[in-house]
Amino acid sequence: MEHPDFDLVIFDCDGVLIDSESISARILITLLKPFGLDFDLVHMQRHFLGRSFPTVAAKIRHEYDIDLPADFELSYRRTLLEAFQLELKATEGIEGILAILPIRYCVASSSSPERVARSLCITGLSKYFQDSIFTASEVKHGKPAPDIFLHVAACCTVAPDRCLVIEDSRSGIEAAQAAGMTVWRYIGGSHLSDIHPSIAHEITTVPSFGSWSNFSDMLHAGREISDW
């Protein structure tokens, strides 16, 4: 079934398909404390949300002059996946949307291919994506650069202006806008309800929704609905 406005929906993974960002931030905060970095959740969301781990690590090394050990990333990913196995869930209502979405869709994530695959498997969402998974490992520059979204559009042979991107982070929104795509912000993840309101409400330039039923309404009505 064709949609009058879009030929492809591109979902971010962390914080959109899966409710993972609070878990990821908690693990990273814990692992950074031995290095003298006492970040809180607000700091993590403001500076690191939506960025790839190599980007986050480079920022920490540069801005705080912390020489993270070579095995830090491996330790972080191992600890994170252990927590995911126990705690990770899909965002409420997303599976029902994926099961009936009348438009072609895929996922484009800043996370590693292994983490995305494992996350989708744990949450039972793997069956909806199959070969429709793209990660920042496939492009030169991660979000907020538009590279990954332009790469997805090219691979799917869809014009950028016919793509709808669903993001939760500032960097993801900026990347989608730079790619010339329509972007809506999902604000239903726990990471945007557990932190200071200034972070959750700092982006007001794009349509937003807090539940997947609202997304369905927006898509079918062809109008902008805001949960602010």
Per-residue pLDDT of 213-228, as tens digits, reads: 999 889 887 644 334 3
Same domain flag for 66 and 99: no
Distances (CA, A) of 31 to 37, 50, 195: 9, 19, 20
How much is the pTM? 0.83
CATH of the domain at 40: 1.10.150.240
Range of the domain at 36: 21-87
Q: Which of 87, 116, 133 marks a domain boundary?
A: 87
CATH of the domain at 202: 3.40.50.1000
- 195 within domain boundaries: yes
Given a contact cutoff of 8 angstroms between Cβ atoms, the answer to whether 81 and 21 are in contact is no
The first and second tokens of residue 47, run together, are 């500076």
Instruction: Count the domains in the chain.
Output: 2
- 2 within domain boundaries: no
- 3 within domain boundaries: no
Digit-coded pLDDT (tens) for 100-145: 998 999 999 988 899 899 999 999 999 999 889 999 999 999 899 9
Digit-coded pLDDT (tens) for 58-97: 888 888 888 888 889 899 889 989 999 999 999 999 999 9
Burial of residue 102, with CB atoms counted within 10 A of its CB: 0-12 exposed, 13-18 middle, 19 or more buried: exposed
Distances (CA, A) of 96 to 21, 101, 192, 213: 21, 9, 22, 9
pLDDT (0 to 100) of residue 204: 60
Same domain flag for 127 and 160: yes
Question: What sign does the CA torsion over 174, 176, 182, 183 have?
Answer: negative
